[in-house]
Amino acid sequence: QQTSKRLRKFPNILVTGTPGCGKTTLCENIVSAMAQQNIKYNHLNVSQIAVDGKFTEEYDMERQTHVLDEEPLLDHLEEILSDFEETGYVVDYHSSELFPERWFDAVVCLATDNTVLYNRLSKRGYAEQKIQENLQCEIFQVCLQEAQESYDKDLVLHLVNDTDDDMEDNVESISKLINTGINSRRN
């Protein structure tokens, strides 16, 4: 397989967690941090790619979310990921079980305090019911459990992401992890 872990020069990272936990911001910051070291990373925002590329089925009115047309979306993503000579990828999605395990070298699941998460989601203009659903999802660690069930547990990192300081720490530790991965592949 083209996406076999051993062939990649750059480790691919999946960033998952409840909506509002900071996935997109973290991924953008990782890309910038790596760029400062002249290492190219690409941010794949799966929801965005699904909407832009029309890899969606009907809109789920009740849950106010797009239902993915998974098979073609996964084929499309795999095609992007198979271009791995010059770049690594940070993949951004709230769910993790749909992706093949071989795509990722590490899975980061962000954790957010409930009050902080409430404020972020209400700023985003989410309806109260949708906010409550997401808070429940965070309380029951749905994304973490899904990640731990779908990937080697040793590859799953659970990182608190409440404050700007947390964000800085998270960017630094993931950049280190990426660099360690790159160096170990050189040998």
Choosing from 10, 23, 46, 107, the residue that interacts with ligand ADP (CB under 6 A) is: 23
Nearest residue to ligand ADP, by Cβ distance, number only: 22
Choosing from 11, 12, 13, 22, the residue that interacts with ligand ADP (CB under 6 A) is: 22
Question: Per-residue x/- marks for ligand ADP, 97-136, CB under 6 A?
Answer: -----------------------x----------------
Task: Rule CB under 6 A: say whether 21 interacts with ligand ADP.
Answer: yes
| Phi, psi of 69, deg, nearest 5 | -90, 85
Binders in 22-51 for Mn ion, by CB under 5 A: 24
The tokens describing 83, both together, are 């271009």
DSSP category for residue 22: S
Task: Rule CB under 6 A: say whether 25 interacts with ligand ADP.
Answer: yes
CB of 169 to ligand ADP, least distance (A): 9
| Strand bridging mode 56-60 / 65-68 | antiparallel
H or E element, residue 60:
strand 56-60
| Distances from the Cα of 147 to the Cα of 41, 63, 67, 98, angstroms | 22, 22, 20, 10
Taking the least distance from each CB to ligand ADP, the nearer of 12 and 134 is 134
Torsion of CA 44, 84, 53, 138, to 10 degrees: -30
Binders in 132-171 for Mn ion, by CB under 5 A: none
CB of 113 to ligand ADP, least distance (A): 10
Stretch that binds ligand ADP, among 15-23, 64-72, 75-83, 126-134 (CB under 6 A): 15-23
Distance CA 33, CA 39 (A): 9
Number of residues counted as binding ligand ADP (CB under 6 A): 14
H or E element, residue 68:
strand 65-68
Say which residues have a Cβ less than 8 Å from residue 50's Cβ, sequence separation at least 6: 56, 66, 68, 69, 73
User: Where along the sequence are the contacts to Mn ion (CB under 5 A)?
Assistant: 24
Binding region for ligand ADP (CB under 6 A): 17, 19-25, 120, 161, 163-164, 166-167
